[in-house]
């Protein structure tokens, strides 16, 4: 049985739809990493699940109980959330932060609440800070206290909203270490994160959020080693692109070649490789395509992670592989000697040349 179910969840603000018709089943013990570009609705998804930002349409269920105004308080005791900005009570000590919810919501006696809080502080390495106030702690320590406060409520699910985004890079590892250990306990976790190592190594499922919903999902192996959809690939492989459209035989070829050069400069691509990319664009577009066609589209993709360079050039018309010309053609010789791999495809009314260095 699912512990959390999303049925056609939609969240918008007026006419601005952030999430549209999202459905999801979360099983007990799942560690789900939620990744994607900024502004695509990752945090909004968590806030809608926890009813901090109620859905515009659709329903969310926790163990078959619908989350609404009547049930949200009881459910939040079992489904806690860790925020980007810690959310600690600054006028209370660390220990008081951990015992407040136990005493007020769970009605736990003070002695038992204190014992439990101290035990949990030990697991996150903060026993010595029990009587400190939040402003006496580092950012990493504050976030560990926030996690400990969640654990003090004995939740079945913890929602993490980019828990390391507000931290200095030197403090990220201490929080991620606690989260890695927590994942081993079997507690259900949904984590909005930019820490790709955590998502890849600790999660059993990864959701890539884009286009107002779950754009692609799968195991870490599927998402990080063999993503299927274009936007997922671009995000995972950190693909940077340059596009140039030619719409006349008299186009500004200097502008096009300068565009390729500037793209390479901005991405610190070595000069030798930049020259090869310019050469391919010049030989294919100026010497092969323009004598026959009035237009084409150049797309250049570079992935620093994969150390790959891919050039795709599309031109219209009937099937016509321009790289099947005479072997003594100078342009063809240059192209074949410059590119490592060359592929041709025909898609309906579009010819595609794909080259890799």
pLDDT digit string, tens, across residues 67-122: 999 999 899 889 998 888 888 889 999 999 999 988 988 899 999 999 999 999 98
What's the pLDDT at 14? Answer: 87
Write out pLDDT tens, residues 258-309. Answer: 999 999 998 899 999 999 999 999 999 999 999 999 999 999 999 888 888 9
Average pLDDT across the chain, whole number: 90
Q: Bridge partners of 350?
A: 316, 347
Residue the block writes with tokens 């980019």: 162
Q: What is the pTM of this model?
A: 0.78
Percent of the chain with pLDDT over 70: 99
Q: Does pLDDT of 166 surpass 80?
A: no
- Average pLDDT (139-152) is 89
CATH fold label, 239-356: Heat Shock Protein 90 (3.30.565)
Pairing mode of beta strands 350-356, 308-316: antiparallel
Q: In which residue ranges of the chain is CATH 3.30.565.10 found?
A: 239-356
CATH of 4-231, one of 3.40.800.20, 3.30.70.3270, 3.40.50.300, 3.40.190.10: 3.40.50.300
Q: In which residue ranges of the chain is CATH 3.40.50.300 found?
A: 4-231
């Amino acid at each position: 049985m699912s512990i959390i179910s999303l049925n056609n969840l939609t969240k918008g603000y007026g006419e601005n739809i952030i999430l549209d018709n999202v459905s999801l089943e979360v099983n007990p013990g799942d560690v789900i990493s939620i990744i994607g570009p900024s502004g695509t609705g990752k945090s909004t998804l968590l806030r809608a699940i926890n009813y901090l930002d109620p859905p515009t349409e659709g329903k969310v269920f926790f163990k078959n109980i619908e989350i609404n105004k009547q049930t949200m308080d009881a459910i939040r005791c079992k489904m806690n959330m860790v925020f980007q900005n810690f959310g600690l009570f600054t006028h209370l000590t660390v220990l008081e932060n951990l015992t407040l919810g136990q005493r007020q919501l769970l009605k736990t006696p003070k002695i038992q609440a204190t014992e439990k809080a101290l035990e949990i502080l030990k697991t996150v390495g903060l026993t010595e800070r029990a009587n400190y106030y939040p402003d006496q702690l580092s950012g990493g320590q504050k976030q560990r206290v926030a996690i400990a406060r969640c654990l003090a409520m004995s939740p079945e699910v913890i929602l993490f909203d980019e828990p390391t985004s507000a931290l200095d890079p030197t403090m990220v590892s201490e929080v991620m270490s606690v989260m890695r250990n927590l994942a081993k306990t079997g507690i259900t976790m949904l984590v909005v994160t930019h820490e790709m190592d955590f998502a890849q190594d600790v999660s059993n499922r990864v959701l890539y959020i884009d286009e107002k919903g779950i754009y692609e999902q799968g195991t870490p192996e599927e998402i990080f080693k063999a993503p299927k959809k274009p936007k997922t690939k671009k995000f995972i492989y950190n693909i940077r692109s340059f596009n140039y459209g030619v719409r006349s035989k008299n186009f500004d070829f200097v502008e096009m070649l300068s565009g390729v050069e500037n793209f390479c400069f901005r991405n610190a691509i070595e000069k030798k490789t930049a020259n090869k990319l310019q050469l391919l664009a010049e030989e294919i577009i100026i010497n092969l395509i323009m004598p026959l066609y009035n237009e084409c589209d150049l797309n250049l993709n570079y992935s620093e992670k994969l150390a790959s360079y891919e050039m795709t050039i599309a031109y219209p018309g009937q099937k016509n592989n321009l790289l099947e010309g005479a072997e003594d053609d100078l342009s063809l010789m240059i192209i074949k000697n410059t590119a490592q791999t060359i592929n041709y495809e025909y898609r309906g009314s579009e010819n595609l040349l794909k080259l890799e260095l």
